Amino acid sequence: MSSDPWHTSAGDAAPTPRPALGPVPPVALVGLGVLAVLKGAGLVLVAAAVASGIAGVMSGDLDTRSVLLLGLIGGGLRALAVWGTRVVGHNIAIAVKRDLRGRLWDRLAAGDAEGAEFAEDDDDPRPIAPARIAREREGEGSVSILAADGLDDLDEYYATSLPAIIQAVAVPLIAGLWILGADWLSALIVALTVPLVPLFMVLIGKHTQERTDEATGSLARLANHLTELARGLPVLVGLNRADEQARALDDIQREYRTRLQQTLRTSFLSALALELIATISVAIVAVALGLRLMNDTVGLETALVALLLAPECFTALRQVGSAFHSSQNGLSALARVRRILSGARRGDVRGSELPVVADITSPIDLPLVRTEPQRTEAPEDFPTLDEIASGAAWADEPDVVPDYAPAPITIHDLSVRYADRAAPTLDRLSADIGGITAVTGPSGSGKSTLLAAIAGTLPPGADSSGWIVGIDPALVAYAPQVPRAFTATPWDELVLYGSENPEAPLREVGIARLAHSSIAEMSPGELRRLAVARALVRVDHGARVLVLDEPTAHLDERSAGRVRDAIRRRASAATVILATHEPATLALAKRTVAVDVASAHPSDAVAVSSPHAAPAAPTVSPADGARQEPTSTTVGIPVITDSIRLPDAPDSGSLRLPSLRGPQHYALKPDRPARWRALLRLLRPTTARWALGILLATATTGMGLALTAVSGWLIVRASVEEYIMYLLVAIVGVRFFGIGRAVSRYAERLVTHAASFHVTDRLRRRLWRSIAARGAGSRRVLEGGSPVDYLVTLTDELRDLLPRTVPPLAVGALAVLGITVTTWITVPQLVGVVGGVLAAAAVIGAVLAIVVARGAHRRRIHERSTLVRGTAALATSADDLRANGVAHPAVTRLDQVSARLARAERWGSLGAGLGSAVAVFACSALAAWAPLLSPTTPAELVCVVALLALAAVEPLDELIVACHRIPALREVARRIAPLLTMPRPVSTGTAPAPRPVTRLEIDGVAATYPGRSEPVFSGLSGSVGTGEWLVVSGRSGAGKSTLLSVIMGALPAAEGAVRADGVALTDLDPASWRGRVAWCPQDAYVFDSTFRGNLLVGRARDDAPDDAEMLTALARAGLSDLVASLPDGLDTHVGAGGSALSGGERQRLAVARALLNRADVILLDEPAAHLDRPTAEAVMADIRAATEDRIVVLVSHRTDVRAPRGSARIEL
């Protein structure tokens, strides 16, 4: 029987639109109940004190001690209830959010499918992965927002809605019983009108839930779209589609804004209806009391108590309605999380031995995993780091003979079929694997699929059967074809993977100089070597299966040689399974498993002896070279920000992960005034809207204060007035102020939120343009969830803060001033006391809230950003983490972030609660003391001052809470300010680019990244014309892709010039030049769309290619047969990041997309990566044919990829 509170609460209960409370401790609910009772008692005592004091002034028999005692006790109880309810409610929300986030991260790390169709498994409560992936599913962006903003919306549910529900039971009951004891007729009127509030609340609430779900779906689509745009920004820039996609972003955010405004409008309309009902009901009570006072059928003190407590009965129910509407986003997020937690689980065909099944008719002799003890001490003759660096460590040693045989692996009838594919990628594959085994076959034949099955990373949409025997999933090391990192730097990444001295594996693969660089800034070749280093660490710590997918792709020969040497050295400790198209890397294998796309039976794909059985000679190369990794001036926050202790590091010091060390990191840090100037510039276009919103908010508060004051004056005056004619103006005023307050509040909310939406829409557009301008030269701002953090989390945080900070600050100050002036007019002798108490309460409450919080809001904003980026990193790198057995440490790091966030939220709620308590106590005490301080003043005027003091609680509390939010507003402004300044453009020229471009010249070009003094390269020269090719070659990291950035106009040349038909790029209009150049980057991103959708990116919307052009481009890239075999053809979905395609198929789709562009200059960066030699040669031949009338600049490490004879060359 599961003890999971979610499963327990779900049980056999019927479906309900309102989710169960979840893991809420019963003691917390009891505490909220006690606090609700205290609040009700406090309200009664304060009402009794005020009524007794005013009646005593009227009668001349004032019981000072009783009034003072009741006021102090009542005010204290109210203050305690306000503070305690806020603290307890937020603590419940914090605990629930931590629990849900931990479960969500566990599911993400497990790689389970979200939002997919599934079938139930009778033997397991969780569903099996589907055969076809649902199109509407959670993505990296939406999951990141769900873990942060989505679950934070539960604050309204647990901290507001839940206490309001409990108070709606306790407060009306206590107040109603007190009214009943004092005046049964008033109690009857309240009892007859109160049910109208929940009736209208339910009727409007149903519509609100539908609107909220639509808005939540729009937010998820916006987050996913932004993530896609950011990941594919180099492609969009390279194909001159960034501006067009910015317009698409506007369309999506407009949809989001429209749906959210519709939801808010419905919610505000509900509040208007509830307030009108409450106002009319209280007016009925007031009119009845006034008439009875004139007829001497009720006493003044009784009437005042009934008048003061009747609104509280309605207020408690209205708060339930308001809290219900404000909590709908949280409930929708809760439902989404629960769908993920109960979603499809990913299957695994691996095991240490063959599963026992029924009807086995023949014996099966399969090997089991042999577990060897882990060695933690290096042998005495183990080479030093310098020997490893020089490449001489093992140069003279013969082939290592393992002292034991690595565990053999048997594949038995393995079949894998992807979603949307008619035929299986692998069909009944059987093979025996041992030693170093290479998986061979043409591009797209299923090599990566087989390796993914061995590593346990098949996508959730894959339908698999058969077994892989002889693998312990906990002892696998895996370097995928497209590696993803979880942390910020290579050093941190290897620490996560278990390395006690990361420098050794980094030096072994030749990237020790990048140990503390940003992973997001690393080239594909450097990132691939980092993935190999991670796998090496795993083998050194006991992994017995080493799975490598294209380990030497994107590498020059010297770097590839280092990787091959490292693989050879681990062959004695682990079974090595690799896939490669590099002949030298293939020569490492003693056995091969041929996976042919045409083979369908085990006999066609079996283990055979490799023709390259002889091991290749070790390659000796320099350790790391002298080049420093270039970087650009970007804004990037490290993904994970916890401290970790290195057990065997020198001095065993503490390493602070967010400290991006070394000369490579230059973050933009604006000065303090710049933060506010940036925010004010955003607000300036909407100044009129904000002024109108503040005016309406002031009118709302003023009408509320006037309603309270006139109602009190009316009741007291009615007790001595003989003729109703003298009271008609006051009666009309009560109705006017009551209805006017409700209407003006509705209008104020619409205006201020509309102004906030306009600010955030404008901010999101500016942030996107800034990210696009920086992202073309630096990938760091595009990784780790940064775009979603900036464009969704921080932007929405600003959207929520502005209407809760700007108007309340102005309105609260004006309310204090207005009450003080009114007191000066009515009871001048109290003006000093009233003004002083209210001002002191505002100042003390605000200072106390800010000081007690101790920077909690600033830390909360920081930790939420870290959490968003960390969740995005976890979602992106889940396969890498899980396959290598380090998912748990990664989730543990996120749990530490969650703990810090929870700590900041607790301090924040504590500070805000204390500030509110000060306001409540001060206003309650002032209301009770007012009659005592002016016993000779007319009672109706004293009543005005006393009731104004009670009514001041709301604007004063909002003022204090707004002050409490100022640090959060300042922190948001600080974080977004650097990106609000656009980087200096590469070119300020205005001349149009030549059409067509017939000659491209590179004349003595040098390139230096911002913040660096040393050039990446210098003195490069070359020339290429129409129909000709310029080949750029050099070692990995030498700056080949950087040269393409210079040619494209994304990076300025530090020296020399690039000319198009004799005109320097600095003299050309940048937009015009971008339209003449098309860039196909390394590992070009494939969008989460269809073949058609990805190909349409190649051209502008008004020049979209038709189906025939798309099919021609696909044929030139070698994908026509694949598309023809798919049931949906061009409309086949390719998965997130092209996950439904092989690496070679993704690369060919990117090439086809670039060929569709009408640019005159084509920049191809490693176009044949991940392709087998015949496919690469065919693709290159088709590219040559398709670019006969264009200029081509080619970057490639492969010696078997040939440009046309006579091509110009630049060697780096």
- What digits encode the pLDDT tens for the residues 1145-1173? 888 888 888 888 888 888 888 777 767 77
* 346 or 59, higher pLDDT: 59
Q: Which residues lie below 8 Å from residue 879, measured CB to CB, with a gap of 6+?
A: 111, 455, 457, 480, 484
Among the residues of 1064-1106, which ranges form H helices? 1070-1074, 1091-1096
Torsional sign, CA 1030, 1033, 1038, 1041: positive
Q: Which residues lie below 8 Å from residue 674, measured CB to CB, with a gap of 6+?
A: 977
Query: 768: which 2 tokens?
Result: 């996107």
**For residue 443, what pLDDT is reported?**
77
User: Average of pLDDT values for 375-392?
Assistant: 52
Residue-range domain boundaries for the chain:
25-343+671-980, 385-613+620-656, 999-1211
What is the spatial distance between Cα 509 and Cα 527, in angstroms, rounded to a whole number? Answer: 11
Mean pLDDT of the chain: 77
Question: Does domain 999-1211 correspond to CATH entry 3.40.50.300?
Answer: yes
β-strands 463-469, 409-417: how paired?
antiparallel
| Cα three-residue angle 1146-1150-1156, rounded to 5 degrees | 145
What is Dmax (Cα atoms) for the chain? 118
Of residues 1150, 1155, 1156, 1186, the one with CA closest to residue 1168: 1150
What is the spatial distance between Cα 431 and Cα 412, in angstroms, rounded to a whole number? Answer: 7
Q: Which of 110-114, 183-187, 325-329, 580-584 has the lowest mean pLDDT?
A: 110-114
* First CA to last CA distance, the chain: 66
Of residues 610, 525, 523, 615, the one with CA closest to residue 567: 615
| Cα three-residue angle 469-473-479, rounded to 5 degrees | 105
What is the 8-class DSSP label of residue 792? I
Query: 252: which 2 tokens?
Result: 């999506």
Examine domains 385-613+620-656 and 999-1211 and report if their fold is the same. Answer: yes
What is the spatial distance between Cα 1156 and Cα 243, in angstroms, rounded to a whole number? Answer: 18
**For residue 285, what pLDDT is reported?**
81
pLDDT in tens, 241-273: 877 777 777 777 777 777 777 777 777 777 787
**For residue 697, what pLDDT is reported?**
94
Residue 1201 backbone zone (phi > 0: left; psi -120 to 50: alpha; other: beta): beta
Of residues 630, 518, 624, 514, the one with CA closest to residue 1013: 630
3-state DSSP helix/strand/coil % of the chain, to nearest 5: 60, 10, 30
**For residue 156, what pLDDT is reported?**
80
Asked whether the predicted pLDDT for residue 650 surpasses 90, the reply is no
Label residue 1136 exposed, middle or buried (CB < 10 Å: 0-12, 13-18, 19+): buried
The residue behind tokens 């040559």 is 1184
Band (632; pLDDT cuts 50, 70, 90): very low
**For residue 1170, what pLDDT is reported?**
67
Torsional sign, CA 100, 105, 111, 113: positive
Query: 615: which 2 tokens?
Result: 């091991």
Cβ atoms of residues 186 and 288 within 8 Å: yes
User: Average of pLDDT values for 503-520?
Assistant: 88
pLDDT in tens, 1092-1140: 888 888 888 888 888 898 998 888 888 888 888 888 888 888 877 777 7
What is the spatial distance between Cα 454 and Cα 408, in angstroms, rounded to a whole number? Answer: 13
User: Average of pLDDT values for 511-515?
Assistant: 88
Cβ atoms of residues 439 and 483 within 8 Å: no
**For residue 1054, what pLDDT is reported?**
83
**For residue 813, what pLDDT is reported?**
94
CB atoms within 10 A of CB 656: 12
CB atoms within 10 A of CB 722: 8
What is the spatial distance between Cα 169 and Cα 167, in angstroms, rounded to a whole number? Answer: 5
Label residue 680 exposed, middle or buried (CB < 10 Å: 0-12, 13-18, 19+): exposed
What is the spatial distance between Cα 106 and Cα 300, in angstroms, rounded to a whole number? Answer: 64
**For residue 319, what pLDDT is reported?**
77
Asked whether the predicted pLDDT for residue 889 surpasses 50, the reply is yes
pLDDT in tens, 443-488: 778 888 888 888 888 877 778 888 888 888 889 999 998 888 898 8
**For residue 37, what pLDDT is reported?**
94
Query: 333: which 2 tokens?
Result: 């997020």
What is the spatial distance between Cα 612 and Cα 646, in angstroms, rounded to a whole number? Answer: 42
Band (405; pLDDT cuts 50, 70, 90): low
CA distances from 830 to 67, 808, 821, 920 (A): 18, 26, 11, 19
**385-613+620-656 CATH choice from 4.10.520.10, 3.40.50.300, 3.40.1160.10, 1.20.1270.360:** 3.40.50.300
Label residue 474 exposed, middle or buried (CB < 10 Å: 0-12, 13-18, 19+): exposed
**For residue 444, what pLDDT is reported?**
75
Q: How far is Cα of residue 368 from the mean position of the Cα atoms in its chain?
A: 43
**For residue 204, what pLDDT is reported?**
61
Cβ atoms of residues 144 and 868 within 8 Å: yes
What is the spatial distance between Cα 762 and Cα 451, in angstroms, rounded to a whole number? Answer: 46
What is the spatial distance between Cα 641 and Cα 656, in angstroms, rounded to a whole number? Answer: 7
What is the spatial distance between Cα 233 and Cα 486, in angstroms, rounded to a whole number? Answer: 21
pLDDT in tens, 1066-1085: 888 888 888 888 888 776 77
pLDDT in tens, 583-627: 888 889 888 888 865 443 333 344 444 434 333 333 333 334 433
Q: What is the CA radius of gyration of the chain?
A: 35
Query: 891: which 2 tokens?
Result: 């989730």
**Cis check: omega of the bond before 994, within 30 degrees of 0:** no
The strands making up 463-469's β-sheet, listed across from edge to edge, are 350-351, 463-469, 409-417, 426-433
At 480, which helix (H) or strand (E)?
A: none
What is the 8-class DSSP label of residue 980? G
**For residue 614, what pLDDT is reported?**
36
Cβ atoms of residues 569 and 394 within 8 Å: yes
Of residues 675, 634, 658, the one with CA closest to residue 862: 658
Per-residue b/e over 386-412, b at no fewer than 16 CB within 10 Å? eebbebebeeeeeeeeeeeebbbbbbb
User: Average of pLDDT values for 192-197?
Assistant: 77
Residue 1049 backbone zone (phi > 0: left; psi -120 to 50: alpha; other: beta): left
* 320 or 220, higher pLDDT: 320
What is the 8-class DSSP label of residue 616? P
CA distances from 528 to 412, 479, 481 (A): 30, 8, 8
CA distances from 863 to 98, 104, 150, 683, 905 (A): 13, 17, 15, 26, 10
Q: Which of 336-345, 867-876, 1101-1110 has the lowest mean pLDDT?
A: 336-345
pLDDT in tens, 1022-1040: 898 888 888 888 777 677 8
Q: Which residues lie below 8 Å from residue 942, measured CB to CB, with a gap of 6+?
A: 53, 54, 57, 827, 930, 931, 934
Label residue 1124 exposed, middle or buried (CB < 10 Å: 0-12, 13-18, 19+): exposed
The one-letter code for the residue type at 886 is: V
Beta bridge partners of 1209: 1031
Q: How many CA atoms lie within 13 A of 1165 on its CB side?
A: 26
pLDDT in tens, 1169-1179: 767 777 777 77
What is the 8-class DSSP label of residue 191? H
Q: What is the pTM of this model?
A: 0.78
**For residue 617, what pLDDT is reported?**
35
User: Average of pLDDT values for 679-708?
Assistant: 90
**For residue 656, what pLDDT is reported?**
34
Q: How far is Cα of residue 742 from the mean position of the Cα atoms in its chain?
A: 37
Q: Which residues lie below 8 Å from residue 34, measured CB to CB, with a gap of 6+?
A: none
pLDDT in tens, 157-177: 888 888 888 988 898 889 888
**For residue 400, what pLDDT is reported?**
45
User: Average of pLDDT values for 571-585?
Assistant: 88
Q: How far is Cα of residue 925 from the mean position of the Cα atoms in its chain?
A: 46
Query: CATH fold of 25-343+671-980, please?
Result: ABC transporter transmembrane region fold (1.20.1560)
Using DSSP, state whether 1182 is helix, strand or coil: helix
What is the spatial distance between Cα 1044 and Cα 1055, in angstroms, rounded to a whole number? Answer: 15
Label residue 382 exposed, middle or buried (CB < 10 Å: 0-12, 13-18, 19+): exposed
Q: Which residues lie below 8 Å from residue 833, measured CB to CB, with a gap of 6+?
A: 926, 929, 933
What is the spatial distance between Cα 480 and Cα 573, in angstroms, rounded to a whole number? Answer: 20
Q: Which of 230-239, 626-635, 917-926 has the lowest mean pLDDT?
A: 626-635
Asked whether the predicted pLDDT for residue 534 surpasses 90, the reply is yes
CA distances from 527 to 625, 640, 824, 1144 (A): 17, 18, 73, 18
What is the spatial distance between Cα 549 and Cα 670, in angstroms, rounded to a whole number? Answer: 43
